[in-house]
Structure 1
Amino acid sequence: MTAAETSVTTHPEVQLLAALGFYAVGSFLEVVGDGTGLSKSSVSRSVAAMTPILLRNARTHIRMPTTQDEVRQVHSGFHAMAGIPRVIGVVDGTLIPILPWWICAGLGGNITLPSTPRWQWTTMASSRTSLPGGTHNSFVWANSAVGQKAGRGEFGRSIFLGDSGYPLRSYLVTPMINPATPQEERFNEAHTHTRTHIERVFGRWKCRYRCIHRSSGGLRLSPVKCCRGIVVTAMLHNIAVCVGADEPPPVDEDGESSEDEAPNLAPRESRAALHQAGVQTREELFNFF
């Protein structure tokens, strides 16, 4: 590293630009360095230095609505989509490719996130690279902080929407497998229309920050740094939405969400009671259609 480069990299602005360039481009560190006049090692140090600093602000920009006014706004936004009341979030999963040298290619970090109608992530339910890419979305959700809060009733009568791969609960409503009435069919249509918004959010998020898109070849960082980087990109996405930044074109993420049968996560008697509570909630929603 030259003396001139050493002087330049002392400026936090340059380090921040290098880190943001890495997240946005998702390319090799030396390619990012070409745009800032930095070496590969300098870009690596900039990403390592800036990521924890950016991460300090994550809880400010990635959070569930808490006040009654915020909850009402979210309910209203989702209701305007297709008429389903009391929706506070939509849940789904996606894969982020990570390729540190000691992990086999193809291992992904599962992420499950609820999304508001403003195309923002409201909370990171899980970004654990300890869970392999084949881990079922419903298992990730059930073991996440927000999923457990929902199970304890901390969101009141608010509900999340999930695909048929998730277990039906009073707080997590899935579509009817075999709709038998016009009401049930209309509900399913509204459910699908609302729920598929999260797939568009995944596309915009990954297109805006190519480091987490499969076209980048995978994050070439340690598992801990991968988790931190994923959260930072979600935070930056929310900030971009808040300031009205232009939306990137959507990216096709077909094949990353599964709707197969959810694994059993509780004793049979408990599952039956929870399922029945979900059935009752869903039947109440049918009355709106």
Structure 2
Amino acid sequence: FPTTLEQQNIVKQRFFTATGFPGILGAIDCTHVKIKKPPLAVEHCYINRKGYFSKNVQLVCDFDLNILACFARYGGSTHDAYIWESSTLKSHMLNEYTANGSTGWLLGDSGYPLQPWLMTPFRNVESISQQSYNDSHARARNCVERLNGVLKKLFGCLSQDRGLMVSPSFAGSIINACCTLHNIRKRYNFPL
């Protein structure tokens, strides 16, 4: 995640240039990665709302789909908002806000709580300006949706069709490795 002022300004400028949204440090979302059936004692932690076993992986990316943070700890039954509340990134954003005031924002969908450092869409749109904000927010946040698709295309083991037929903890390690390899591929301009 961009921690220096210079890194933050680069990410913010790219988001602003592409979307018109000022001060954006990244877009956040969770995605499910299918895993094999875990031990009976913990399988309830991994069954997601679509009925298959998965890890629920929190990703944050910049506008150019560089992964800024990956949190692959929780099972598929865990809600996105709980993963956010438990993440080190949330603690970092809170500490930055407390120490320095607003240094920037993340863009999250309505599954996340509105916070001084996390912008979410209006739930009940009551005006044209709120609808305009929601439309702009969705366009800017779309980069993390694209990232999910790119990762699952690039690494077939992350797709729902195949999944990771390994233990939940090893699945988390593989997911983190795939994210690292994605960033290396991006940095050195390797094709998909």
TM range (shorter): 0.7 to 0.9
Q: Does 1:234 align with 2:179?
A: yes
Q: Is the 8 A contact 1:81 1:193 kept in 2?
A: no
* 1:130-145 alignment runs, 5 A limit: 131-145=74-88
Is the partner of 2:75 in helix, strand or coil?
coil
Distance 1:144 1:100 in 2: 25
Among 242, 245, 256, the alignment partner of 2:190 is: 245
Distance 1:222 1:185 in 2: 43
Name the counterpart of 1:210: 156
Q: Does 1:111 align with 2:57?
A: yes
Name the counterpart of 1:223: 168
Name the counterpart of 1:150: 93
- Identical aligned pairs, as a percentage? 27
Is the partner of 1:167 in helix, strand or coil?
coil
Name the counterpart of 1:123: 69
What TM-score, normalized to structure 2?
A: 0.86
Superposition misfits of 4+ residues, deviation over 4 angstroms:
none
Q: Which letter does structure 2 place at the counterpart of 1:82?
A: T
Q: Is the 8 A contact 2:84 2:90 kept in 1?
A: yes
Distance 1:206 1:70 in 2: 27
Q: Does 1:167 align with 2:110?
A: no
1:120, distance to aligned residue in structure 2 (A): 1.4
Distance 1:229 1:85 in 2: 34
Q: 1:3-22 CA deviation, whole Å, 9 max, x = no partner?
A: xxxxxxxxxxxxxxxxxxxx
Q: Is the 8 A contact 2:37 2:53 kept in 1?
A: no
Among 15, 21, 25, the alignment partner of 1:88 is: 25
Is the partner of 1:109 in helix, strand or coil?
strand
Q: Is the 8 A contact 2:57 2:72 kept in 1?
A: yes
Q: Which letter does structure 2 place at the counterpart of 1:91?
A: I
Is the partner of 1:111 in helix, strand or coil?
strand
Q: Which letter does structure 2 place at the counterpart of 1:111?
A: V
Unpaired segments ≥5 residues, structure 1:
1-63, 248-289
What TM-score, normalized to structure 1?
A: 0.58
1:179, distance to aligned residue in structure 2 (A): 3.0
Q: Which letter does structure 2 place at the counterpart of 1:71?
A: Q
Q: Which letter does structure 1 place at the counterpart of 2:175?
A: I
Q: Which letter does structure 2 place at the counterpart of 1:236?
A: L
Q: Which letter does structure 2 place at the counterpart of 1:81?
A: A
Q: Which letter does structure 1 place at the counterpart of 2:152?
A: K
The structure with more strand, counted as a fraction of residues: 2
Q: 1:39-69 CA deviation, whole Å, 9 max, x = no partner?
A: xxxxxxxxxxxxxxxxxxxxxxxxx112222
1:100, distance to aligned residue in structure 2 (A): 5.3
Alignment RMSD: 1.9
Q: Is the 8 A contact 2:62 2:143 kept in 1?
A: no
Among 35, 40, 43, the alignment partner of 1:98 is: 35
1:222, distance to aligned residue in structure 2 (A): 2.2
Q: 1:25-52 CA deviation, whole Å, 9 max, x = no partner?
A: xxxxxxxxxxxxxxxxxxxxxxxxxxxx
Q: Which letter does structure 2 place at the counterpart of 1:232?
A: A
Tell me which structure has the larger Cα radius of gyration: 1
